[in-house]
Amino acid sequence: MRRTNEGVSIVNIGQPRLIASSLNPPRKTRSKHAERVLLYMQLLLLDCLAVIGGFAIAGAIFGEVALSPTGFNVGLLVLGVYLLQAISWSSYTIDALRSLSESTRRSLAALAMAVLVVLMFSYFFKASTLLSRVAFASAVTVSVGLLGLSRFLFHMHVRRRIGDNLTDELLIVDGMPADTSLARHVIDAEAEGIRPDLQNPEMLSYLATCIAGFDRVVVSCPPERQHAWSLLLKGSNVIGEIVFEQVNNIGAIGLGRLGTAETLIVSRGPLSVPERAKKRLLDIAVTVPALIALAPLLLVVAIAIKLESAGPVFFRQRRVGRSNQLFDILKFRSMRAELCDSNGNASTRRDDDRITRVGAFIRKTSIDELPQLINVLRGDMSLVGPRPHALGSLAGDQLFWEVTERYWTRHALKPGITGLAQVRGYRGNTLHRVDLENRLNSDLEYVNDWSLWRDISILFATFKVFVHKNAY
């Protein structure tokens, strides 16, 4: 381990390692995450070829008409349903890359469901009498064989190319000896001045840049610091583990191993790669059309803000994002520029004299939040997630993270423009401790029970609370 002018240096066991900047996460020539995504895409393409190939072979034998009773090849319909089922049943996940049996089982189950759906579809639309049963059965049989063969060959390809090293792992040594030869990437926290300080958001943001891009983070630390590290790992989108010698009360959810040392798994990251991809696709699919459709409104609001008071159109403020990493949130400026509170130390009050006339209207209607669509497009935020808070936000007379240490665990997902707490009515000023606890409980419920359909339902529910009594 050596110190550089750029910040933390990462020890690379076996290969040269790039230096991590204090402002940027460690970068790799190609991360295991990126490599896995590439493998998922290759596997998906092979599946498409296997399914279509089966119907193409059967069509060549029995004639295309036998599988196209309405002029549309039924194989394309099977493929479409198959892909939906395969993605839904996690056929493109790290488990499918690791286990041939699991990979084959999930893909064949998805194909069986796709065939069943297509048969039901053809029955209800009375196309089953026109479809050649022998040709269809032959096509499915060949597709099953090709699918199984392609999954087997792909599994062999992955084993030769990567072996079992499918994840990027980081070992953080914080005052407790550990065998660093067992890890490819190592940070000496004590030498680099990194501490799990729950009262220091800047330190937590810096730490987030150090672990960004890794799938698994193992911490070796004394027992008195295990609780703090556990909370930080729970709030990060990683598999988090702590080396231990005896069982303790840090909320472990499983056991792991680093060489001969046992570890406590304290976090797994709430979303898999396919789930993160689905959430991101939803963000893009809604955000891009929304920005285009709302462009006239955004322009009118920007002009109104400039006409009423001097200063920038947008208000930028540091907020706590995913993995407790800080980012700049965008809003329409609703206060006089010279009175804006960049740290959020003074919560907005009803009839706050800092707010302009235009600002009062756009805050009441939540229009001031619309520039956050740009944050979503940039990847800082998601449409749905725990609302990002300012560093100086208070619940009564306490900072949010002073109220409860569980606060940091809400940041395991990207912050959202809207969220479960907002649609339940938990908005506005946090005058009392319970105001934060209500929001935190909703945020943690959302993080622990995420689903795409829940995101969609929260988006629809948000339309009901655009104008809210606590929005001022």
Average pLDDT over residues 68-90: 84
Average pLDDT over residues 88-102: 86
What count of Cα atoms within 13 Å lies in the side-chain half-sphere of residue 130?
A: 15
Examine the pLDDT at 448 and tell me if it is beyond 90.
no
Average pLDDT over residues 445-458: 90
pLDDT band for 457, please (50, 70, 90 cuts). Answer: very high
Examine the pLDDT at 82 and tell me if it is beyond 90.
yes
pLDDT of residue 337: 74
Cα–Cα distance measured from residue 202 to residue 18, given in angstroms and rounded to the nearest whole number = 23
Examine the pLDDT at 283 and tell me if it is beyond 50.
yes
Nearest by Cα to 19 from 209, 199, 221, 182: 209
153-200 residue pLDDT tens: 999 999 888 877 788 889 999 988 877 777 778 998 988 888 888 888
* pTM as predicted: 0.62
Examine the pLDDT at 244 and tell me if it is beyond 80.
no
Average pLDDT over residues 133-162: 92
User: For residues 3 and 18, is the Cβ–Cβ distance under 8 A?
Assistant: no
* Residues near 386 by beta carbon (within 8 Å), at least 6 away in sequence: 410, 411, 413, 415, 416, 419, 421, 443, 446, 447
User: For residues 381 and 417, is the Cβ–Cβ distance under 8 A?
Assistant: yes
Average pLDDT in the chain: 82
Cα–Cα distance measured from residue 169 to residue 186, given in angstroms and rounded to the nearest whole number = 9
| Maximum distance among all Cα pairs of the chain, rounded to whole angstroms | 80
Least confident of 273-277, 332-336, 458-462: 273-277
Q: Considering only residues 346 and 424, tell me which one the structure prediction assigns the higher pLDDT.
A: 424
376-404 residue pLDDT tens: 999 999 999 999 998 888 888 888 888 88
Cα–Cα distance measured from residue 382 to residue 286, given in angstroms and rounded to the nearest whole number = 11
Average pLDDT over residues 53-77: 84
Least confident of 262-266, 347-351, 452-456: 347-351
Examine the pLDDT at 410 and tell me if it is beyond 80.
yes
